[in-house]
């Protein structure tokens, strides 16, 4: 077979280091556009990005030409440099180490897009840590609560 045919729909979640609320309303949409452009320029397709001041959700169709770990290293590294250069020159913005990725079938795509688009409304009802535990449990992903779930620092 001379071609690759794939459908790799992934939701990726990662947080600001120490879950600090540093993603300000004043620049979050510009950040999301920057990240989406980076994703799309690497042959992937960014369907939606949204989040809260302390974390991000990205939903994309992954192209098999690149590993997820490589894409995440580039997205997190370039976006933290971009944020530091434009918005935090006096301090250092960093993403927390690691990320989570969850795969979805094509029939689930509209549901996941709506869920990510409505993050602000969703988090009025459910805090991030509860949401994150729910997703990990839904996907049967074992985790260490002592090291995974840290409350935001002050």
DSSP 89-146: TTS---BPS--EEEEE-GGGHHHHHHHHHTHHHHHHHS-HHHHHHHHHHHTT----HH
Domain boundaries, the chain: 9-148
Q: Which residues contact 22 (CB under 8 A, 6 or more apart)?
A: 16, 53, 54, 83, 88, 93
Instruction: List, for residues 93-120, the tens digit of each pLDDT value.
Output: 999 998 999 999 999 999 999 999 999 8
26 to 32, 61, 153: CA distances (angstroms): 12, 28, 22
Is the pLDDT confidence value at 1 over 60? no
Instruction: List, for residues 5-47, the tens digit of each pLDDT value.
Output: 889 999 999 999 988 999 999 999 999 999 999 999 999 999 9
Mean residue pLDDT across the chain: 91
Read off the pLDDT band of 128 (50, 70, 90): confident
**CATH class of the domain comprising 9-148:** alpha beta
């Amino acid at each position: 077979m001379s071609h690759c045919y794939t459908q790799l729909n992934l939701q990726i979640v990662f947080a600001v280091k120490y879950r600090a609320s540093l993603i300000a309303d004043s620049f979050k949409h510009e950040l999301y556009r920057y990240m989406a452009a980076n994703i799309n320029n690497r042959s992937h397709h960014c369907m939606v990005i949204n989040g809260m001041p302390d974390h991000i959700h990205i939903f994309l169709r992954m192209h098999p030409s690149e590993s997820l770990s490589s894409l995440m290293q580039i997205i997190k590294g370039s976006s933290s440099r971009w944020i530091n250069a434009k918005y935090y020159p006096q301090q250092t913005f960093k993403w927390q180490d690691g990320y989570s990725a969850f795969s979805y079938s094509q029939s689930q795509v509209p549901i996941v897009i709506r869920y990510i688009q409505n993050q602000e409304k969703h988090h009025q009802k459910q805090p991030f840590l509860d949401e994150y535990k729910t997703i990990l449990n839904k996907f049967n992903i074992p985790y260490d609560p002592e090291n995974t779930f840290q409350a935001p620092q002050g």
